[in-house]
Amino acid sequence: MADALFIGDSRTVGMMEYAGLNEANFFCSTGMNVFDIKKSRISVPSVGKVTLEELLYNKKYGKIYIMLGINELGYDFQSIINKYGELLNYVNGKQPNAAIFIQANLHVSKKRSDSDNYINNKNIDRLNSELSKFANGKNAFYMDANHLFDDKDGNLSSDKTADNAHLYAKYYSEWGKWICKETAKELKERQS
């Protein structure tokens, strides 16, 4: 994963800290969203404090993983999708040879989903469904890891989260291994 960049919010921060993907770069922060991402200066381990533009200009990546959208729920839905599309085009323009992996937003627990008007699994599923449409099977792929962490009803399993939204640290390693396996599978199919 030395040629990988992960872009995202607090869940990607968790991946950076606990998944064991130490060779990858991570452009992520708690609360990151598609509306502010290009304005943000983020401290990237082994790189320094940079904007996304600086990072994409100065480093060449083979794989770029993006998971954003949950913090935006509550904003105008079409605006979220439009901004996400703009971000994908921007990243692709700066790194045209990279495979881009659009990661589904992970679900929240039933407790959180039932009590939140915006960040709930119905909205997350709607968002993920729209994001999946950006995948083209050539240089943009869609990955959905929810099945790893969901209960039988499609909610983040309550035994895998303490705060109803983020995974316990031990599950990030499982997620990281799954991403590596799925990436290899997608890229192998791409070459076929």
Could you state, in order of their start, the residue ranges of all structural domains in the chain?
A: 4-191
At 97-115, the pLDDT tens digits run 999 999 999 999 999 999 9
CATH superfamily for domain 4-191: SGNH hydrolase (3.40.50.1110)
The pTM assigned to this predicted structure is 0.96
Give the pLDDT confidence score for residue 86 in this predicted structure: 98
Residue at token pair 């709930």: 120
- CA distance linking residue 81 with residue 64, whole number of Å: 19
- CA distance linking residue 19 with residue 17, whole number of Å: 6
At 59-76, the pLDDT tens digits run 999 999 999 999 999 999
CA dihedral 42, 166, 23, 37 (to 10 degrees): -30
Give the pLDDT confidence score for residue 192 in this predicted structure: 54
Q: Which residues of the chain, if any, have pLDDT below 50?
A: none
Give the pLDDT confidence score for residue 13 in this predicted structure: 96
